[in-house]
Amino acid sequence: PAELRAASAGLRYVRVNLLCNTVAEAVAKFVADGYELVGPGEAHRLVRGTRVFMQDEHLEDLLVFAPGTEMHAHGMLADGSVVVQDKASCMAAHVARPTSGKPAIDACAAPGNKTSHLASLMGGRGTVYAFDRDARRLRTLVEMTRRARCTMVEAQCMSFLDVDPLDPRYAQVDCLLLDPSCSGSGMAGQLDLLVDRYVALRQGTQAKEDVKTRVASLAQFQTDALVHAMRFPGVQRISYSTCSVHVEENEAVVAAVLGMQEEFALAPRTDVLPTWPRRGLSAAGLTEAQADCLVRAMPEDGTNGFFVAGFVRVSPPDVGKT
């Protein structure tokens, strides 16, 4: 709603960990702790300094608190009942639509916010194979998924590009989440940094080349990783996300990958947060209908800058190509 957008700066999002409690139970615990639950039409009551919260209108496992709410010392965070996670970041696992009881892959997983979200949506049934090539960040993932009581996460320190899609361990994996390294240009603070760097253009071309070269090399990795994700023969759904606002890392990666293979198509809007209003851009050769299947989020939506695309398998794997 418009009033929520207007008041959105600094909204605090808390994701309910379904491995520990239902949404109704978490809501009841906050109410017992003195927070007031307001209804969907009362977003304007989420005013800084008030102990007021509501259920998110797009993501059923997300609670929204007033700007500035201090959550980090709350007991429900310490015992894993809830996870502090930006709304946009929570979109990726919903788009992945993991199947309870079937294994899933989180390809670039650390520090593990989306791994633990997948586990939550899977109700603790099945395995989440979590890969990251950074050992220090993977240790954080192990600690954060332990705190969130995700006993079904198998973390491996390796490049996702070196994971063998034909390894029998991954034959039953039907859902893959890919949230690769990106420029982070959608994160709070990074937007200002980016503006500063572009302003620096007036003093020479160095800054521009810095940004362009870095984004191009990230886009190459993102494309390679997405193509690799499509090589897992059992995978039926892929969620691709970045916290970048650059077309090069978002719509252009989607367009490139759609042009490189025929086994996966864009998931229809009906499966990709259909009620979320801000959709992708018809850029990089994507049609308006294709862009409508994509999700973008921006700070004016009360979230970090973010991008999510869903892919679905439309033809059986050509194992000879993997």
| One-letter amino acid of 182 | C
Q: Which residues pair with 312 in a beta bridge?
A: 237, 265
Rounded CA-CA distance 247/256 in Å is 12
- Is 110 annotated for ligand binding? yes
Identify whether the C-beta of residue 10 lies closer than 8 Å to the C-beta of residue 67.
yes
* Residue 52 or 141 with smaller CB distance to ligand SAM: 141
* Residue 239 or 290 with smaller CB distance to ligand SAM: 239
- Tokens describing residue 117: 């979200």
Closest CA to 94 of 241, 252, 280: 241
- Is 174 annotated for ligand binding? no
Rounded CA-CA distance 22/55 in Å is 13
- Is 41 annotated for ligand binding? no
Q: Catalytic: which of 150, 175, 182, 243?
A: 243
Rounded CA-CA distance 284/255 in Å is 7
- Tokens describing residue 130: 């979590």
Query: How many H-runs (helices) and E-runs (strands) does the chain carry?
Result: 10, 13
Q: What residue ranges bind ligand SAM (CB under 6 A)?
A: 89, 108-114, 131-134, 137, 159-161, 179-181
The count of other CB atoms within 10 Å of the CB of residue 33 is: 11
- Residue 305: CB minimum distance to ligand SAM, A: 13
Rounded CA-CA distance 169/47 in Å is 49
Token pair 């018809």 is found at 282
* Residue 83 or 247 with smaller CB distance to ligand SAM: 83
- Is 108 annotated for ligand binding? yes
Identify whether the C-beta of residue 52 lies closer than 8 Å to the C-beta of residue 36.
yes
Rounded CA-CA distance 80/149 in Å is 7
Instruction: For residue 175, indicate whether it is catalytic.
Output: no
- Residue 176: CB minimum distance to ligand SAM, A: 12
The count of other CB atoms within 10 Å of the CB of residue 251 is: 23
- Residue 94: CB minimum distance to ligand SAM, A: 13
- Is 267 annotated for ligand binding? no
- Residue 199: CB minimum distance to ligand SAM, A: 26
* Residue 156 or 206 with smaller CB distance to ligand SAM: 156
- Is 73 annotated for ligand binding? no
- Is 114 annotated for ligand binding? yes
- Residue 158: CB minimum distance to ligand SAM, A: 7
Phi, psi of 206 (to 5 degrees): -60, -50
| Residues that constitute the known binding site for S-adenosyl-L-methionine | 108-114, 132, 179
| Residues that constitute the known binding site | 108-114, 132, 179
Active site positions, annotated: 243
